[in-house]
Every structure is written in structure tokens, then in C-alpha cells.
Structure 1
Amino acid sequence: MSDSELNRTIKALIAQEGLPETYARTVEQTILPLVDHILELYQREERPVVVGIHGAQGTGKSTLTLFLREILGKHRNCPAASLSLDDIYLTRGERRELAARVHPLFVTRGVPGTHDVELGLQIIRKLQAAPPDGFTPIPAFDKSIDDRVPADAWPVFNGRAEVILFEGWCLGAHPEPDAALERPINRLEAEEDASGTWRHYVNECLKGDYHRLFDQLDNLVMLKAPSMESVLEWRTLQEHKLAAKLSGAPDQGVTKRGAQNLRIMGDDEVARFIMHYERVTRFCLKEMPRRADVLIEVGEDHSLGKPRFRAH
């Protein structure tokens, strides 16, 4: 396809995602060089490749993944499938069972231990091995009901994926040294995990099943947040915007269950929610930049810097 067709796709995606027109410059400076990097990787390996996209909440993983998938598939003759770590969460029932068996904090989705790792491995293998006329259902998770979507409603990828874009907030995370787990790092850990059972279990998951899953990555892209404090600020602002949006919406007869699903968290609740992610996020911010294949700095204003490629 021509440059004009590529530009039309970019403009359409920017409008679809409600992004400022200036995002076109981000595509030019950040995303297109990353597209070229992924194509070089694929051509070098001569097989379907898995590209991991890591980033804390609010860093723009989903948006980046969307642009990469559309540009690779429509303009680089390289079919790309996308899979989110969020979409292989354990079902609500499975997390309740884990919470009863190991620790109550596991009822909240997010941390390692709350995903179906085997399902993730299975989907990656199917995408890599699919024939040209095959199809692969991709898992989906509905956060409004805190449960996985029934399998018969999963979106389907047609054919074989030459690139699998796998994104997630803790994707590629390494476990911490055991000694680092002894002291709580926030109020949640001090008050609700005083024995350390929850955080030790999370760390053991990173050593075991998640290590097998992350080993599937041929390349790791890190969207690096400025700090943990920025992540909290972004997530709080997101909740404020959602509250403003809902308060200005006309009453459409929302059901009692629907109202519960749309309940807005207060600032203290957002802070507690982020505490679930804090330990793993802080460790990733500390140690991942030196080993990521591609490092993209995220500014305080959510802007993406130019990609820095690690020499191999």
C-alpha cells in the first residue's frame, strides 16, 4: 500500500481512539521505527515471532499494540495477532477458589497468580501453528462483570500470525530476591498481608509458570513510566474523568447490577487498588530497562519517546 493509504489508516486510528492529531508525530517517531524493528526480527527468525509489550497502567500499551497490529497487517504484508495478559485472567470463580485456598487478596485480578498461564501458552502455540485457512479464538475478559467472556463469544484470528503482539502490565517481569519480600512496601501489604503469604506466592509464580510463559517472547518492548507515583496519578485521573463522564450522562435506566459495575472508586480506593501492583511495578522499573530489547520512555504527559534499541 502507498504512503497515502498508510496515512489514511493512521488518521482513522487516531480518530477512532480519540487521540490528538499530534499523535501522528508519535506514529512517525516511535511506532514506525518499532514496526521496522519487528519486521527485521521476523525476517531474521524466518518463523512467527512473539513480541512482548510491557508497561505499567496508563502507559499506552493497548494503543501501541493496536497501531502495530494494523500497520503490520495492512501495510507491511505481515499478519499480526494481539493478545493481552488481561484477557487470560482466571475466571471469577477460579480466583475465589484461589483466595480461599491461598490468600484473600487473590480475589482481586491483576498480580501474577491470577492468570491462566496454560491458556496463554495454548493460544500462542495455536497462532504460531495455524494453517493459512485456520482460525484461532482469542480469549476475552469483561472487566465490567469481572469474568471471562464465554468461549463461543471470543474474537477469532484468521490464518497464521507471523507476529504475535502480547501485551501486559507485568509481561516479562522477573521475580524479586526472596529477602526483598520480608518487609512490606505499602499499607496493603502491612495490613492485609502481614505474614507475606500473598507476596511470596506472587513471586513464586514469577519463578515458575510465568517464567515459562514469558520465555515465549522473542523480543521485549518496555514502555517505561516516569515513576510509580505517575502511575497512581494517571490511574486516579482516569477515575476522575470516568466520574465526570458518568455524572454528565443522561439517566438511561441503569439497572442495579449495572450501577454497581459502573461504581467509581474514590482516591483512597484507587490508591489501595494500585498497591496490589506496586511491588512488581517498582521492581520492573528498576531492573527491566537494562534488559529490554526496546526501551520507550513515557513522559509525564503520556507522550512516547523515541525507541532505544538494545544492541545484541
Structure 2
Amino acid sequence: MTATDPSQFSFNNLLADWLADRMTTPQIQPILEQRWLSYPWRTDAQPIANSPKPIGAVAQTIQAQLDQFRSLAPKLHSFCQDSLGWQTFPLDLMWDLWLPLANRLVSWQRAVGHPLIQGLIGGQGTGKTTLAQILSYILEQQGLQVCRLSIDDLYKTYADRQQLQQTDPRFRWRGPPGTHDVSLGLTVLEQLRQGNASVPIAIPRFDKSLHHGAGDRIDPEWITGADIVLFEGWFVGVRPIDPIAFETAPPPICSEADRAFAREVNTRLQAYLPLWEKLDRLILLYPVDYRFSQQWRQQAEQNMIASGKSGMSDAEIREFVEYFWKSLHPELFIAPMRHQSNQVDLVIEINADHDLDRIYCPAA
């Protein structure tokens, strides 16, 4: 994911020049202030205000972020190279998204007065796991303890999923509601929220490579607590909808069998609501066209095959991705969340090139 607009490339260079002391802070200050006022970071702890902060307050905020930026940029650059394998480093994205979002999480954590359970929802290929890794690194550099937990870590055991598949063959792949241990998730999130540093917490972990790709649980990771929990997944925070919507559902929900499966998954989603109630906030990573997920999955598989690893064919990818769309169709379940301030706190829209399209808070 990289931030773009007509002047984005020069903005990236501007930040590089400032870091290299080829430009001074007074030279770039007006540009940064103008840019800041166009983003939802204009307030410290609340959603977008009707009017921007006074210029003097913006200048102070900009200076604080510049100090942060100079301190963290070299370290974060190395992290992205070493841990994520990035060849280039988007300074513009660090400025526009990563730093202000990390600071927003800190302010949210202070406001709730207990460990923050931050939900992060995004479909396949949206970059939610990468974003969680980067935010974790930034927050840990500020001295905070961060726990990353994926909905995938809550999958039922291989044996339990095999039993589910025998009972209902429609659940042939892991992923949809019904394939997770919700009670395990509730226990873990409640323990994290309590924040008792004297009691170690077992964070479940899942290895997707086991059982020829079917995956299974592995030994948990033990931690002593966290200031911020980043809980991410492709349907974290998604709520059941009126079943009548499936009568006119978009493709690939086409047959009566498809509609019956969608209704079953919708019913099973009800069991996840207590888990979503543990969330303090929810951020939505939203592709401007949900069908990008298929394109991104094909690119990922092609890269794996090019590197000598095994991967799915285009036909297999299409069937796999459409299985998820049949279970929780993005147009029915995800798209409406962009406009529901009682469900989502921040929306980050992404275009076909994984570029940052826009950031906004749903209208109240």
C-alpha cells in the first residue's frame, strides 16, 4: 500500500530531502500543514471535526510528528527491508498514515483507560496483516506493549474442522463463520483487557501449512499483557444481515444452494457478536472494488510460483476467493459498514495498485 495523489512522488522526495537536511523545516512546514488539514488526523482523539484545528495547533502537531518522523524513519525503513522484504520505503505513507494512525491508537488507549482492543478488518490482499506489523513496530518503539492476534489464530483444531465438514460438507475450507473457536477468542480478549501482568496469557497460534494446507493449532505464545491489542481478520466486526437480502444477492451467489449456504453462514455469524463486543474500536481497510482481492491473490500466487514454491492455478484461485464471497459477500456485509459510525471508526480505502485512495471517518 502506498499513498498517492498527483503530487505524491514529489512529496515523497520532499520528505527524503528534509531527512537528508537538504530542506529546512520552515521550507516544508506550509506543505505539511496543508496536507494535514486534508486528512482525518486534524483532531487528536475524536473523528473528523466540522472545522480544522487552528493553524497554531496544527503547527505544534506537525512539529511533534516531524520529530517522530526523523527518529523513526531509519529504524522503520530497516524493519520493512529485513522483516517484510521491501525494496523501497514509502516515506509518504509513513507520514500520511502510519505515524498519525499509531498516535491515534495511543490516544484511544488513553481514553479507554485499559488495554485497547483495536479491531482491523480487511479482505484478502488489503494489507491488514502488514499494517498491523508496522503499527506494532512503531508503538513498541514508543515503549508500548502490543499483541497481534488474527481471527485465523482462533480456528478450530483440524480434528474439529474435519468433524464440521463431515456434518456439513459446504464448510470444505477454513475461513467462514463456524470454523472458529469463539469461546477461545472471548477468553483471550477478556484476559488481555484485564491487563493482569502477574498472570501469563496464552495467545493461540495457527500454522496454515499443517495437514497439507488445512492447518492446525500449534503451541500458544505466552505474554504477560499488552497496552494495545491489534485484532485483525477478514470479517472482524461484521454483523448478521436480514436474510431477505440473499434473494437478490450479487454473483457469485446465484443458485438456491448458494443462497442456502449464505443464510447458514449468516446464522453462524450471530455467535461472533459477543467477540465483537470486546472491540473498543474498528478500522476498515476497504478496496474501492472488492473484486481486486481476486486480482491480488493471483499476483501473490504467481509470485510464489516464480520463486519456486507451489501455488494455485487461476481457476483454483477463482473458486477459492468466490467461496469467501459466497459465505459473506462484501457488497452485502462490508460495503455498508463504511457509512455506519456505530460500527466503524475509520475507513482506509485502497485502489487496485494497493495505493492509499482516501481516509475518512463514517458520518455520525
TM-score normalised by length of structure 2 = 0.73
Q: 1:74 to 1:22 in 2, by over 3 A?
A: closer
Deviates more, 1:130-139 or 1:222-231: 130-139
Contact 2:118 2:279 (C-alpha < 8 Å) held by counterparts: yes
Residue identity (%): 28
Contact 1:188 1:272 (C-alpha < 8 Å) held by counterparts: no
Deviation at 1:134, TM superposition (A): 3.5
Q: Which residue of 2 aligns with 1:256?
A: none
Deviation track 1:18-64 (CA, whole Å, cap 9, x = no partner) reads 22433232122111111121111111111112110011100000110
TM-score normalised by length of structure 1 = 0.85
Aligned-partner Cα distance in 2 for 1:50–1:171: 12
SS in 1 for 2:204: coil
Q: Which residue of 2 aligns with 1:290?
A: 339
Larger Cα Rg: Structure 1 or Structure 2?
2
- Asked if 1:232 corresponds to 2:299, the answer is no
Q: 1:239 to 1:67 in 2, by over 3 A?
A: same
Deviation at 1:133, TM superposition (A): 3.9
- Asked if 1:303 corresponds to 2:350, the answer is no
Deviation at 1:240, TM superposition (A): 1.2
AA paired with 2:166? Answer: A
Q: 1:184 to 1:3 in 2, by over 3 A?
A: closer
Aligned-partner Cα distance in 2 for 1:52–1:71: 17
Contact 1:53 1:165 (C-alpha < 8 Å) held by counterparts: yes
- Asked if 1:165 corresponds to 2:235, the answer is no
SS in 2 for 1:235: helix
Deviation at 1:186, TM superposition (A): 4.1
Matches for 1:64-143 after TM superposition, within 5 Å = 64-75=131-142, 77-101=143-167, 103-143=168-208
Contact 2:339 2:363 (C-alpha < 8 Å) held by counterparts: no
Name stretches of at least 5 consecutive residues in structure 1 with no aligned partner.
248-261
AA paired with 2:299? Answer: L
Q: Which residue of 2 aligns with 1:252?
A: none
SS in 2 for 1:138: strand
Contact 2:115 2:195 (C-alpha < 8 Å) held by counterparts: no
SS in 1 for 2:268: helix
Matches for 1:151-300 after TM superposition, within 5 Å = 153-157=219-223, 159-182=224-247, 185-186=250-251, 190=255, 194=257, 196-206=259-269, 208-246=270-308, 262=310, 264-279=311-326, 280=328, 281-291=330-340, 292-300=344-352
Name stretches of at least 5 consecutive residues in structure 2 with no aligned partner.
1-66
Q: Which residue of 1 aligns with 2:18?
A: none
Aligned-partner Cα distance in 1 for 2:353–2:305: 21
Deviation track 1:191-233 (CA, whole Å, cap 9, x = no partner) reads xx72744322210122x21111111111110011121221111
Aligned-partner Cα distance in 1 for 2:254–2:362: 35
Deviation track 1:230-263 (CA, whole Å, cap 9, x = no partner) reads 111111111111111116xxxxxxxxxxxxxx4x
Aligned-partner Cα distance in 1 for 2:166–2:254: 18
Aligned-partner Cα distance in 2 for 1:296–1:213: 23
Q: 1:32 to 1:310 in 2, by over 3 A?
A: farther
SS in 1 for 2:226: coil
